[in-house]
Copies of this chain bind each other. A is one copy, B any other.
């Protein structure tokens, strides 16, 4: 395989300020791979030999319970680390990572982890922040599930996705990830039926426009009111 070009990672905040030589050294042990939509980068329970960085596309991180219930834990955006089981002292991946769209992933063997920590100043702190942020977000999800109605939770999930990957279109802001009603249900702990009903009502009230695996928000402010429980969708 040809050496990877340092321009791939030169622009990422995690590697800011490094010399060309250092970038090359970091990339020496990395491999890049393309994943078609719906292909799995790694599967829950699989032995974790690598950690990964998303170069382009979107990854859906999914946890499956022993009974088969699935929960979408988060979406990974370009530039983010994922599958860093090695950092958390885990020997196998606690969730599966599925390409939500065609994606390009850079992967290092776990052995490269300590090297990166030493070589890249601030890498360690940045990783702490990444994991810390995810912990905060996950705890926020727990709070929501404990205290809010389904309608508010779904509204929040949609707004979060808009922030993460919203794309301006003539009709409004479109979520840039193919997103089924089922996905939305798995992010909010409800059923696709309930999500579908909510979106239908929101659409009738001019808040969103739905489509097959697609949601476009036409009235973000109105949806914020719904998320805060200060307005009925």
Q: A2 within 8 Å of B by Cβ?
A: no
| Minimal Cβ-Cβ distance residue in B for A127 | B128
Contact B145 A142 (CB under 8 A): yes
| Minimal Cβ-Cβ distance residue in B for A188 | B146
Contacts of A138 in B (CB 8 A): 135, 138-139, 142
Chain A's interface size range is 20 to 34
Contact A71 B132 (CB under 8 A): no
Bound: A65/B140 CA distance, A: 9
Q: A1 within 8 Å of B by Cβ?
A: no
Binds B, one of A12-20, A83-91, A203-211, A214-222: A83-91
Given contact pairs A131-B132, A146-B189, A139 touches B88 in the complex (Cβ within 8 A): no
The 24 listed contacts between A and B (C-beta, < 8 Å) are A63-B139, A65-B147, A69-B147, A71-B143, A71-B147, A73-B139, A73-B142, A88-B128, A88-B129, A88-B135, A89-B128, A89-B132, A89-B133, A90-B136, A94-B136, A117-B124, A124-B124, A127-B128, A134-B135, A135-B138, A141-B142, A142-B145, A146-B186, A147-B189
